[in-house]
Amino acid sequence: MIRYGLLGFGHHCIKRLMPAFPAAQGSVLAGLWRRDQQKAVANARDHSIPSFATAEELCASPQIDAVFVTSPDALHLPHVLLALTHGKAVLCEKPLGMNAGEVEQMLSAATKAGMPLGVAQNFRYNRSLDFIRDWIAQGRIGAPALAHAQFCYPAQGGPRQWIYNPALACGGPIGDVGIHCIDALRFVLNSRVSAVTTLARADAESAPVEAYATIGLDFTTGSMGAVTVSTRGAYRSLIEVSGETGAIVSQFGLTVEGDVDVELWLNGKVAERQTVSNADGYTRMLDAFSSWVEGRGQFRSTAEDGLHNQQILDAAYTSWRTGQKQTLPGN
Tell me: the pLDDT tens digits for 191-223? 999 999 999 999 998 999 999 999 999 999 999
pLDDT over threshold 80, residue 25: yes
Percent of the chain with pLDDT over 70: 99
Out of 3.30.300.30, 3.40.50.300, 3.30.360.10, 3.10.105.10, select the CATH number for domain 124-278+310-327: 3.30.360.10
Whole-number Å distance between alpha carbons of 116 and 112: 11
Q: In CATH terms, are 2-122+284-299 and 124-278+310-327 the same topology?
A: no
Q: What is the mean pLDDT of the chain?
A: 96
Rounded to two decimals, the pTM is 0.96
Whole-number Å distance between alpha carbons of 305 and 100: 12
The SS3 call for residue 243 is: strand
pLDDT of residue 163: 79
pLDDT of residue 11: 82
Mean pLDDT of 151-173: 86
List pLDDT tens digits, range 86-121: 999 999 999 999 999 999 999 999 999 999 999 999
List pLDDT tens digits, range 29-55: 999 999 888 999 999 999 999 999 999
Residue spans of the domains in the chain: they are 2-122+284-299, 124-278+310-327
pLDDT level of residue 156 (50, 70, 90 thresholds): confident
Higher pLDDT, 159 or 166: 166
pLDDT level of residue 226 (50, 70, 90 thresholds): very high
Sign of the CA dihedral 291, 293, 296, 298? positive
The SS3 call for residue 29 is: strand
Out of 3.40.50.740, 3.40.50.720, 3.90.550.10, 3.10.20.30, select the CATH number for domain 2-122+284-299: 3.40.50.720
List of E strands, 89-246: 89-92, 117-119, 144-154, 193-201, 212-219, 224-230, 232-243
Instruction: Note whether 115 and 144 are within 8 A (CB).
Output: no
Angle between helices 100-113 and 303-322 in degrees, nearest 10:
170
pLDDT over threshold 90, residue 128: yes
Closest CA to 231 of 208, 216, 210: 210
- Amino acid making up residue 249: V
Whole-number Å distance between alpha carbons of 257 and 219: 29
Query: What is the gyration radius of the CA atoms in the chain, in angstroms?
Result: 19
